[in-house]
A and B are shown apart, each in its own frame.
Chain A
Amino acid sequence: MDFSFSDDQLELRSTVATVLGDWCTPADLHARYVGPDADLGRTKGRWSAIADLFVCGLLIDEELGGLAMDDVDLIGIAEEAGVVVLPEPLSTTAGVVFPLAASTTAGAPRVKDALERGLSATFGGAAFGAKHHKITTTVSGGEASTPRVGYGTADLFLLVVELAGDLQIHLIERDEVAVTPTPSLDLTREMATVTWSPSGTTMICSGGEASLLVEQLLQRAALYSAAELLGLCEAMLSLTASYVTERKQFGVPVGSFQAVKHHLAGARVRLEFARPALYRAAYSLATGAETSAHDVSMAKSMASDAADEAARVSLQCHGAIGYTFEYDLHLAMKRAWALSADFGDARSHRARIFDLVTAARG
């Protein structure tokens, strides 16, 4: 039993965190709220800087140009992407789309190519359902439409569709799809509806293989969004702790009042205990444990709860300044709200756990 990260893992995380911190400041994020194209130069440079770190291929075999590391190596990096409210799909590319596509025969060479070209990737078309997954892509006259795809700015799209009862996973480049941005609260993650034409050349797997992979896709999406949520918690709580230490009322810092302390301590405790659940889930996916569905659902439900509470108390402890568009808090708060509900919210994951645990306890 060794529940810790190695020095190499911590060093890699810290290296990535430094680059993310340099390239993704609150000013960069505020610019996205002025207009998605307002600071595109910085956006492109930021993704290049990330791609140059080789983190996108962290989970990919060496023969495909990856680093052959595992989810335990990547999970802390995903937390750091949350800390800075990264507008690009770092953990979605590295932790969700690439490993999934690379596990298929047709997808593997495409991942190799995408890594060489430094592409970013996102996905859509499937969500957790009551018992199994549900497919959200609709098809009409040979044209597919996939709603609620996050990171509409991505270069590559992994999309799930059911055609005449056959479940299929496709991998399509940006110039082959039509991306229609959907206005949403968090403007830094550009939600979009993607319209596309499924074809034999875009398909990377189908049938029973696709069915297994969709469950993995959703588990991976839940795990890495949980990691970002904990990074967001850290960011919101640290911003709030600084604010209440500086802000004075009645001649003293408002953070010296117990009412404020207890709000923030409660959120900090939630974060403290969500972390080991996240790391255990990463370990379970990395080792292919039979308990991965349970462990991932636990991580996501705890992370969603922790982020909801951190957002709520951060806003309250800031007072009116936290409610403004110009202050930094809403950048993290809006991402937290979105990710808390996406890929299964806390309650739906607890419902999954109830089914899994009662089945296991017989």
Chain B
Amino acid sequence: MDLTFTEPQQAFRQEARAWLEANVPKPGTLRSLDTKEGFEDHRVFERTLFDGRWSVVSWPEAFGGRDVGIMEWLIFEEEYYRAGGPRRVSQNGIFLLAPTLFEFGTESQLTRYMSKMASGEEIWCQGWSEPDAGSDLAGIRSKATKVDGGWLLNGQKTWCSRGAFAHRCFGIFRSDPEADRHRGLTYYLIDMAAPGVTVRPIGQLDGETGFAEVFFDDVFVADEDVLGGIGEGWKVAMATAGSERGISLRSPARYTEAAGKLMDLLAATSAGDVNGFDPRAAIADEVVRAYLDAEAYKLHTYMTATKVRAGHKVGAEASATKIFWSEVDVNIHQAALRLLGEGADLYEAVERGGVDLSEWLDGYLFALSGPIYAGTNEIQRNVVAERMLGLPRG
């Protein structure tokens, strides 16, 4: 056990810190990424990141990365959140699809898609959930029918994050109408500009169109855009799901950074600031607990990263991780809103004792989606109970 960073890792951290301090836009400069204009603002920033070779540090150099290890990726993430970097508009592509493409993709697919994904030129959305298949993903009904040179897609996908403005979509469709549930599914890489694709944006809790319904009406996808084998869609999708639940979607820095600000907010709050009572007595314990959980998530991630570096594949523990980070996120923001008291529902930026109070409300709304997406936490608890504790399926 050695919980220190090597000299090259410390140098890497300094290099990232210096670049990010010079290049990350001030908070509030970029418009919401769930609006058309904000989506473009965020793509411009992705291009800046890419040009500095900071958008995908763990990828091969050929696709714009630095070919660094998982520890360096975590260091970069810590610095990214420390610098106040914006939400990544390309996250569905670079964090969810990319690990799957590296594992199952053809040379041609890697060449055609990776660099454009890394630079923000092509933003990807996820086409998995359907109106009648959410947590029960194996119940999807959208179909793929074999035609000469490719497939015709028909059906409807929903809750596609970034779907309103994305350029491409990775989705699973039923390619064998005779097969049931997890069998007979195939994973496709789809052009959102193809004829037959209709997008209907859906307003989220904050009113912005962060996700969309996508309708497919005889949409043609070429054979070369099948990811993994025909009928292998479930296996390929679960590789992505592991990434989504595990460490590649939610790096701990996101939470430790927010938790540190939460501790500052508590320290800046005095008796009488919150609905007329002293919050230190009533809320301090909740605040420190949220802070500790963020810190524990960071330590757990370093532990997992150590195992991954030694060749371990993340399995059921990704479900435990997903439950934990999504609840940490809600708890951090909930504690902050309690500290804000009666003013918590105001959108205007306010300040207390030199601590900026904006962004907690948006952060809270965003955090509330965590226990729902990427497989609800109820489904994850079933997985933890069955695969980590050995309880019977039922």
B165 proximal to A (CB < 8 A): no
Contact, CB under 8 Å: B382 / A4 = no
Contact, CB under 8 Å: B320 / A2 = no
Closest to B310 in A: A4
A218-262 CB mask vs B (1 if < 8 Å, else 0) is 000000000000000000010001001100000011011110111
A117 contacts which chain B residues (CB < 8 A)? none
**Given A276-B299, A280-B3, does the pair A262, B381 have CB atoms closer than 8 Å?**
yes
B9 proximal to A (CB < 8 A): yes
Closest to B321 in A: A272
Pick the contact of A1 from B285, B288, B306 — CB < 8 Å?
B306
B292 proximal to A (CB < 8 A): yes
B307 proximal to A (CB < 8 A): yes
Q: Considering the complex, which residues of chain B in the window 299-340 have a beta carbon less than 8 Å from any beta carbon of chain A?
A: 299-300, 302-303, 305-307, 310, 317, 320, 323-324
A180-192 CB mask vs B (1 if < 8 Å, else 0) is 0000000000000
Q: Which of the candidate stretches B15-23, B177-185, B258-266, B359-367 sits at the interface with the other chain? A: B258-266
Contact, CB under 8 Å: B299 / A256 = no
A358 contacts which chain B residues (CB < 8 A)? 263, 266-267
Contact, CB under 8 Å: B391 / A244 = yes
B350-394 CB mask vs A (1 if < 8 Å, else 0) is 000000000000000000000000000010111011101111111
Contact, CB under 8 Å: A265 / B384 = yes
A320 proximal to B (CB < 8 A): no
Pick the contact of B300 from A252, A265, A276, A353 — CB < 8 Å?
A276
Contact, CB under 8 Å: A4 / B391 = no
Contact, CB under 8 Å: A269 / B1 = no
Within the assembled complex, what's the spacing in Å between the Cα atoms of A358 and B263?
7
Contact, CB under 8 Å: B297 / A273 = yes
Within the assembled complex, what's the spacing in Å between the Cα atoms of A260 and B4?
40
A347-360 CB mask vs B (1 if < 8 Å, else 0) is 10011011001100
B71 proximal to A (CB < 8 A): yes
Contact, CB under 8 Å: A361 / B263 = yes
Contact, CB under 8 Å: B299 / A261 = no
Contact, CB under 8 Å: B393 / A256 = yes
Contact, CB under 8 Å: A241 / B3 = no
Contact, CB under 8 Å: B300 / A272 = yes
B5 proximal to A (CB < 8 A): yes
Contact, CB under 8 Å: A264 / B303 = no
Q: Considering the complex, which residues of chain A in the window 265-281 have a beta carbon less than 8 Å from any beta carbon of chain B?
A: 265-266, 268-269, 272-277, 279-280
Within the assembled complex, what's the spacing in Å between the Cα atoms of A5 and B306?
10
B344 contacts which chain A residues (CB < 8 A)? none
**Given A72-B1, A258-B378, does the pair A277, B389 have CB atoms closer than 8 Å?**
no
Contact, CB under 8 Å: A265 / B382 = yes
**Given A237-B389, A253-B394, A358-B267, does the pair A268, B260 have CB atoms closer than 8 Å?**
no
A277 contacts which chain B residues (CB < 8 A)? 292, 295-296, 299
B293 contacts which chain A residues (CB < 8 A)? 273
Contact, CB under 8 Å: B389 / A264 = yes
**Given A4-B303, A361-B263, does the pair A256, B1 have CB atoms closer than 8 Å?**
no
**Given A262-B378, A350-B285, A357-B291, does the pair A302, B263 have CB atoms closer than 8 Å?**
no
**Given A2-B1, A255-B391, does the pair A261, B310 have CB atoms closer than 8 Å?**
no
Closest to A353 in B: B288
Contact, CB under 8 Å: B299 / A3 = yes
**Given A1-B3, A268-B388, does the pair A280, B289 have CB atoms closer than 8 Å?**
no
Output the least CB separation between B375 and chain A (Å): 13
Contact, CB under 8 Å: A272 / B317 = yes
Within the assembled complex, what's the spacing in Å between the Cα atoms of A64 and B1?
26
Closest to A289 in B: B3
Output the least CB separation between B53 and chain A (Å): 22
Within the assembled complex, what's the spacing in Å between the Cα atoms of A173 and B85?
61
Contact, CB under 8 Å: A301 / B284 = no
Within the assembled complex, what's the spacing in Å between the Cα atoms of A354 and B269?
13
Q: Which of B267, B288, B300, B388 has the most CB of A within 10 A?
A: B288
A298 proximal to B (CB < 8 A): yes
A123 proximal to B (CB < 8 A): no
B3 contacts which chain A residues (CB < 8 A)? 1-3, 280, 283
B2 proximal to A (CB < 8 A): yes
A261 contacts which chain B residues (CB < 8 A)? 381-382, 385-386, 391
Contact, CB under 8 Å: A276 / B382 = no
Contact, CB under 8 Å: A265 / B389 = yes
Contact, CB under 8 Å: A3 / B302 = yes
Contact, CB under 8 Å: A5 / B1 = yes
Closest to A241 in B: B389
Within the assembled complex, what's the spacing in Å between the Cα atoms of A266 and B388?
12
Closest to A240 in B: B389
B385 contacts which chain A residues (CB < 8 A)? 255, 260-262, 264-265, 268
A245 contacts which chain B residues (CB < 8 A)? 390-392
A275 contacts which chain B residues (CB < 8 A)? 300, 303
Contact, CB under 8 Å: B296 / A276 = yes
Contact, CB under 8 Å: A361 / B266 = no
Contact, CB under 8 Å: A268 / B389 = yes
A257 contacts which chain B residues (CB < 8 A)? 394
Contacts from B to A (Cβ < 8 Å): 1-5, 9, 71, 260, 263-264, 266-267, 284-285, 287-289, 291-293, 295-297, 299-300, 302-303, 305-307, 310, 317, 320, 323-324, 378, 380-382, 384-386, 388-394
7 tightest A-B CB contacts, nearest first:
A256-B394, A261-B385, A276-B299, A265-B381, A265-B384, A350-B288, A255-B391
Can you name 17 A-B residue pairings with CB atoms under 8 Å? A1-B2, A1-B5, A1-B305, A3-B1, A3-B3, A3-B305, A3-B306, A4-B307, A256-B394, A265-B320, A265-B385, A272-B300, A277-B296, A280-B3, A351-B285, A354-B287, A354-B288
Known interface pairs A1-B9, A3-B3, A264-B385; 16 further A-B residue pairs with C-beta atoms within 8 A, sorted by A's residue number: A2-B306, A255-B391, A256-B392, A261-B382, A262-B385, A265-B320, A265-B380, A268-B384, A272-B300, A273-B297, A277-B295, A298-B295, A357-B291, A361-B260, A361-B263, A361-B267
